Structures are given as structure tokens and as C-alpha cells.
Structure 1
């Protein structure tokens, strides 16, 4: 399994020396355009799940089914949401980002047309189409993470991930608002027409403008991709006109994404991130059921607007934390350079401090995560007790902002580190993250109502946050032992490569 600083970053065939080749040929504006388009696509994964929630009672009536049976369509959606990125993400690491993105948008559009036209006597078809909808929408997060790994060097990756993450993390907040408004004014079928049109617009923009970024195919963007992979309007990027196509990076075979779970540091990171995400999903999934009885003056539209508080917090968290991650990377880099320059016997050159074997990427990414985690836990516990005490609605809404901000900061740091640990498998490792956190989120949602009824709102969030606190030493374990685990993988990889060359 290939990882960081491997031959995938092979020099492109230009007159410039390999060491002077930039990580990516795209300008800053071009990178931000790519991030914006892929971030917009990533919105559909949570949006198609959450926009559906306000219409569940109406759909149950229309199909003459119980709410519990309609909720099964949410369950199958979450299952497919966790599984499908493992397929699309792995294929994108082999066949390219662009065709997989466009394929996802096509599947999403067609499934939404089917859902908008589904007969109300065909409950089974509703279930099948929701699975197809998840298959088309859920994988956009894994694909987008792979694109950012392709175009952004580690020193700037945090900022791009911070902005890109706004899409998938704000989706759960704006989804119920849009769903409620559409269902109230235009009927429940309008929800799926809206999604179809939105996905169609996104797909057209990608077909026209989005370049192929897979490094195994285009290197740093200067190697022209095969004709079928080129955008219809190729104005993004600067491919070289004098490229020897024999220098094109070798195409990789399919890599089993489940192998990533054998990496101790990756597995620990995925597990702890999933715990934190499960609590966050428990907060968002119960906003309607907790706010309406606590504040009976709220109507359905008002309740939907309450989701904007946590969404606003995530917006701030994404923007601010991205800049913090890039700042921390540079801060650690400068510190290492000073140490090398101060030690005349050092065997490391100052320009080599950012190489995998020399740079403590775990410390650079996780340095402030304990602070974010502590604030997140305190805000979640305070949120639960505020709702149980029935304080002024401003109290829990303010705490929602803090929860959204700190959770976004935490998860953005984790996602960036995951891609740092396996940059040549950016989509696959993001798919693994999606699988684990969706599984944990689904498990939390399935039992949280029972826990709320058994021990009350306040103690429910004490319990959930307490579980996270018990496993919080994982953060320090990763900082302490992560470089050692990476060194062992690097040694095995180098030994395997040497053995292959001897044959």
C-alpha cells in the first residue's frame, strides 16, 4: 500500500529539474475553483439525507405506511451512504476523479427523477430508489477529499480542507430547512425535483470545467490526461505541450481499501473520530424532537431554522481551523529548521525537514485538537442540561454554535491527517472514514431516543460525551507513537520495493 512521498509524485517531463517541480501546476484561484466545485458536490451526501426528514410524516400518509416503515428508507440510505464510497472512492484512485464525479451526479439525478415520480402504492420502489440515491450522492465526499490530496501540498492542505469541509458539514443544517419549505409550499415530490436540478447543474459544471487531477494519471497537473478525461472547456490548468508520454506515471492497480484498517494509527484515528461524530449526529438528529416539546411556541419552520445555529458554527469552524492547520504546519516546520541549523552535527538538511521520515505530521495536525475536543464535550453537556432545564432558547442555540465550531475544527484536523497518512489513497481513506463514522452515527441515532426516555436529556449527553472522554488518550497515543508506526510501514515498503527490483 503506497503512502506519502512515494513514486506517485514522479517528476513530469519538462526541462525543469525534478526537484524544482511544484506540487501542483494549478494557480491559487484555480485550486479554489476546484475546491468550490467539489465542495458543492460534497453537499449532496448529507443534504439528500437530511432534506428528507421534514417530509417523513407526509410521505408516510401518502404511501399509507407507518412512520416507522418510512424511517426504514432513512436506515437503508445510511447503510448505502457508508458502503458506496468504498466502491466509488477505490475506482477513482484507479480510473480518475472526473469520470467518477460525473457518474455520481448522473446516478443522483436519475434516482431523484424516479423518487419524484414514484407511485404511492410502490413502497418497495421507494426503498430501492433511496438506495440508488445514496449510491450517487454519498461518494462525493470521498472523491472530493481525493481531489484535494491531488492538488494541495501538505503545507496548504489544511486550509483547502477547511473550506471544502463546509459543504458536507453544513448540509445537515440547511437540509431540514429546505425540506420543510419545499414540502410545505410545493409538496414532498418537489424535494426530489430540487435535488435533481441541483445535481444536474453541478454535473454540467463538472463536465464543462473540472480537470482530471489524479496524480497517477496527470502528475502535478502538467501531463495531459487521455482525451476522454479532458473537460469540454479546458481552461483550468496548464499542461505541457512537450511532454514525453512515456514519462506518464504508471497506472496503479486496484488497491484494497480495507488494508488501510490494518494501519494502527489510521484505525485509532477512524475509531475516535467516529465516536465524536456519533455524538454530533445525535445532537442534530434530535433537534426537532427536543426543541418542540421544550419550546412549544415553535412551529415546523421555526424548528427547521434552529438547525442554522449549528450550521453557522460549522461554517466558522471550517474557515478558521483551515487557516490554523496551515499555520501549525509552518510553525512546526520553522521549529525543526531552527533545531537543525543549531545542531552542527545534524544529518538532516534544513530543506529536508518536511520529508516523511523527518516531519512529525501527527503533532502538527493534532496539537490543538485536545483543546477543541474539551470545548466540544463541555458544550454538548451544557446543551443537554439547558434543554432539560428549559432555559431561554438562546442558551441551547448559542451552545449549538460552539458545538458546530469545535466539531468542525476537530473533524477537519482528523480528515487532513488521514489524507496526510495515505495521500495516494485520498479517496479510499476518506471512504473508510465515511464508512466508520456513518456506522457509528447510525448506531447512535437508533438508540438515542431510548436513552433520552430512560435517563433524560442532560444525562444522555453526559453519557455520550463520557464515552468519548474515556477514549480521548488516543490523541496523545497518536502523537507519541504515530511516527514510529509510519517508520515501520515505510521500512516494509522499501524492503518490498528492493526485493522487487532484485528480481
Structure 2
């Protein structure tokens, strides 16, 4: 074990002009965003870095000085500090075998697909729900779809801090059980009020994967590897709500709307079981806390301290304090960081547009084009195809882009290197809205409005994945909290904006209604460009101390 009296000196994180190893050191102290831990280690070779990237999600090998090696806090038992045994400690999630990383990423991405899928799967079946329960309110029917997203907004505010106390494993798995239990309640709901209540609670349980999943990625992957990992993870968040209506329409028409919920329950239970078996704890402070407790008992040394938390006093580390701080941290980050606020507003607007389209596509294609509830789900394929193309493009270009830009910047990595292509993707959103609105307004052949939604899906993925990765890279120690704040605001938009859709379209029509949304989307296009140009300055001027 490494032992030294000097290796753990601190330095300010207010400046982002750091190499990738500084970013990684920042993650070594997740309870103090401005503090990092420094430890000398042998220099990795060019071949080592390239091999790691190739094995861990990137086909591009790196060249000399493109990205500097990471460093982790090592044990210093002479000074009563418990850290990792070595830079290659297999217990460190960054050193997990490739198969384990891929397995964990795949399982988390899968449950992150099912949970958002449940948000929209019975949208085409709402006419059957209304008929069963005698509901005549279009607003209440739409709310039965969007209330699930309100659960997404509420859950992360306390699930994220709970994961900092008890770890990712138990919070994620228990939340998934909660999701499955209330999905069962949805399938058995005796009335519309009960269905709405059960869907809200199912959304709370299903929200864990949306925030803890990004924390798992930050725990296991380096910045140069996260682009592809987040792209894979983001597939579920965006594909789930799109494929939900496609499957739900056929299920509701042939087996009844309750079978939409039974399908969600069955798949959710299978994945939850898989996560209980194959999932592993990845949160570094919790792993080192367990190691510290074990060594205290084995060595009879009660004075040993977790190197990541030893400077915190007992009151600051109590579960109640951690939970309270964790609940307020996402809100503080939204209020105090212009970067978090701008990214969250942009993402929230786009997410609201997505769910607004979900609640309007069904009536548009039934009333205007004569689709049945069974075939209406196929109208969502335009967004799905766009997402599929976008995920391939982002996965191929994201990590390669930051490696190229870091090389030009003398090996210095900046989180803003994720953002250049977002401006291009942003232009596709208003183009798609104008195209869709006016072709549907003028009753152009049904295939044209469906094709017009392809750029929307492509642009949505091209903005969503880079912005989410950007947030992880800006706040690596508090990735789950940063994403929790973004998720809460995003899901509020996703739940509430669709409620305004019917009134807006009744007054403005499909053409001008979607044009209004398109003009608002145009206003957001410069946001990634401004962050790319001034993001570093903003982070230095408005450091978030949480």
C-alpha cells in the first residue's frame, strides 16, 4: 500500500483549466466539489491509454499526450487513511473488467428503457380507459398519461441523496421493486383516480434509474469513455417513450389497456431480478467506507478513516444531514449555476415538446387520417427512426470529438468540448416542428407528417446525450445530483406542457401551434454555442459550493 504524509494536499477546483486527471481527482472526493486528492503514480504509456479506450467503448486509440492518465487516492495507513490499494485496485469500479462494465451498463440502460416506456405505453389506449371508467374529460385523460412524469420529477430529489448514504446498489434495486409494485397497482386499478395515483407512485420508483444511472456511468468510466456510455444509456430515456405507444396501441386494441401495464410489470420484474443478481456497488465513497469498517475490525484500529470523507465532521456525515443536503443540492445547483439552469431549461423544453407530441399524435392521426388506435402507434416511428440514427451518430462522434479537441488544446480537456455539434442538432428541432405542423394542417399524405418527425428524433438525441455528458463532466463528484435537478425540471415540463396542448391547438391549429413551438426552439439554438464559448468563464465566475 502506498504510504505518504504529503499526497493528499488540496487545491481549488474553481478553474476548469485542468487535465483529465484533475477531473478524475475531483471525483475522488464526492463530498467536496472543490477539493481533489493528488497522488503520484507511474505514467501510463500511449498504448495503455489506447488499449483501455478500445476495450471500454471506443475504437479510437489515443496518441501521446492527448489525454493524461487518471489518479486515485491510495491508502496511507501510517496516517490512518483508507483508500484504494493501488492505481489498479480491482475493487475500484474504474478498474472493473470490461465484461462487468458492459453488463452493468446494459442492465441499467435496459431498466432505463422500461421505466420511460411505461410513461407512454397506454397513450393510444386512453380511449379504452375513458370508456371503462366513464371519463369524458380530455384533460383528465391526458393527465393520466403525464402524471407518471410528475413522479419522475419528485423521485430523484430524495433518491439521489439516498444513494450517497446507502450506495447505488440498494437504492436502485429497491426503487425498481417499488416501480414494479405500483405497476401492478396500475394493472388492477378499480377507477381512474386510483389509476392516476398508482401511476404517480410508479413514476417515483421508476425515476431512480434516470439519475442513479448517470452516477453509475460516472463511477465506472473516464471522461474520454463517457460519450458512448451515455449515448447507450440515453437510448432508453428517449426510445422508451417512443416505442411505448407503438407497442401499446396493438396491445390495447387486442388485449385491453390493462395488458399494457401487465407487460410493463413482467419486463420490469425480469430486469429487477437481473439487477439484484448481476449489479454491483459502484459508488466510491460507500465502497471505501465498507473497506474502512472492515479494516478497523481486522486490524483492531478504530482510528482508521475513509480518505474521501475523513475531513468531514460526524454531524456533517450523519444520514439525516447527508439526506437533507442531498435533497437541497439539486435545487442549489439549479439556482446558483447558470450552466445547470441553461442546460436544464433547454432539455426541459425539448422533453416537454416530446410529450406534447405524444398526446397530440394519437388524435391527429385518428381524426385527420383515420388511423385505428392499433395502428396509431406506428405514427411514432418517425421520432424513433430519428433517435436511432442520432444514437449511432453521437456514439461514433462524441468521444472522438473530445479526443481531437483535447489534442489541439495540448492535452487539456474541457467539458465544453462535448457541445460543438449541438448547434447543428438544435436547428433540426424547429425545422421538424414547422414541417410536421403545416403538413398535418393541410392534410398532406400521412407518410409526410411521420417523415417530418425524423429530424426531431435525430436532433433530440444529438442534444440530449451531449448535454447530459457535459453535466457529468462539469460536476463529476455530484453527477447524480446535477442530473437530479435537470430531471426534476425536465419532467415538470414533460408533465405540464402537454396539458396546454389541446387548448393551444384548438385556438391556433396544428400549423401555427407547432410554428409557435418552432419559434421557441429557435431561441434555444444559441445556448450550446454560448456555453462552448463562455462555459469555462461561467464555471469560474459562478462556482457551485454545495
TM-score where L is the length of structure 1: 0.82
Check conservation: 1:93, 1:427, Cα contact below 8 A: no
Note the alpha carbon deviations across 1:247-302, whole angstroms, 9 max, x for none.
Answer: 56338634332111111111111112222332233233321122223322x22222
| Partner residue in 2 for 1:341 | none
Q: Does 1:274 align with 2:274?
A: no
Instruction: Give the superposition deviation at 1:19.
Output: 12
Structure 2 counterpart of 1:103, from 168, 174, 184: 174
| Partner residue in 2 for 1:55 | 125
| Partner residue in 1 for 2:9 | none
Taking the aligned partners of 2:183 and 2:343, their CA distance within structure 1 comes to 35
Taking the aligned partners of 2:382 and 2:369, their CA distance within structure 1 comes to 16
Structure 2: runs of 5+ lacking an equivalent = 1-11, 15-22, 30-36, 38-71, 76-83, 295-302, 311-316
Q: Does 1:452 align with 2:514?
A: no
Structure 2 counterpart of 1:46, from 116, 120, 127: 116
Check conservation: 1:12, 1:223, Cα contact below 8 A: no
Q: Does 1:307 align with 2:377?
A: no
Instruction: Give the superposition deviation at 1:22.
Output: 8.5
Note the alpha carbon deviations across 1:213-258, whole angstroms, 9 max, x for none.
Answer: 1122237xx986989xxxxxxxxxxxxxxxx985563386343321
| Partner residue in 2 for 1:404 | 457
| Partner residue in 1 for 2:150 | 79
1:433-444 matches, cutoff 5 A: 433-444=486-497
Q: Does 1:295 align with 2:377?
A: no
Q: Does 1:472 align with 2:525?
A: yes
Taking the aligned partners of 1:128 and 1:274, their CA distance within structure 2 comes to 24
Taking the aligned partners of 2:136 and 2:279, their CA distance within structure 1 comes to 43
Taking the aligned partners of 1:226 and 1:167, their CA distance within structure 2 comes to 37
Note the alpha carbon deviations across 1:126-159, whole angstroms, 9 max, x for none.
Answer: 3322221111112321111111111111111111
Note the alpha carbon deviations across 1:284-324, whole angstroms, 9 max, x for none.
Answer: 3321122223322x222221122123112212212321221
1:28-39 matches, cutoff 5 A: 28-39=98-109
| Partner residue in 1 for 2:7 | none
Q: Does 1:66 align with 2:140?
A: no
Check conservation: 1:322, 1:412, Cα contact below 8 A: no
| Partner residue in 2 for 1:332 | 405
| Partner residue in 2 for 1:11 | 73
- Cα RMSD of the aligned pairs, angstroms, is 3.0
| Partner residue in 2 for 1:232 | none
Taking the aligned partners of 2:250 and 2:462, their CA distance within structure 1 comes to 30
User: Which of 249-258 and 320-329 deviates more?
Assistant: 249-258
Check conservation: 2:124, 2:376, Cα contact below 8 A: no
Taking the aligned partners of 1:389 and 1:312, their CA distance within structure 2 comes to 24
| Partner residue in 1 for 2:308 | 249
Taking the aligned partners of 1:144 and 1:472, their CA distance within structure 2 comes to 27
Distance 1:402-1:430 versus aligned 2 partners, 3 A rule: same
How many pairs were matched up?
452
TM-score where L is the length of structure 2: 0.76
Taking the aligned partners of 2:514 and 2:292, their CA distance within structure 1 comes to 51
Taking the aligned partners of 2:158 and 2:292, their CA distance within structure 1 comes to 23
Structure 1: runs of 5+ lacking an equivalent = 228-243, 338-349, 497-503
Counterpart secondary structure, 2:155: helix
Note the alpha carbon deviations across 1:386-443, whole angstroms, 9 max, x for none.
Answer: 2222223332222222211111111111111111111122222222111112222333
Taking the aligned partners of 1:199 and 1:21, their CA distance within structure 2 comes to 29
Distance 1:42-1:103 versus aligned 2 partners, 3 A rule: same
Distance 1:331-1:23 versus aligned 2 partners, 3 A rule: farther
Counterpart secondary structure, 2:124: helix
Instruction: Give the superposition deviation at 1:78.
Output: 2.6
Structure 1 counterpart of 2:441, from 373, 388, 405: 388
Q: Does 1:264 align with 2:338?
A: yes
Distance 1:19-1:365 versus aligned 2 partners, 3 A rule: farther
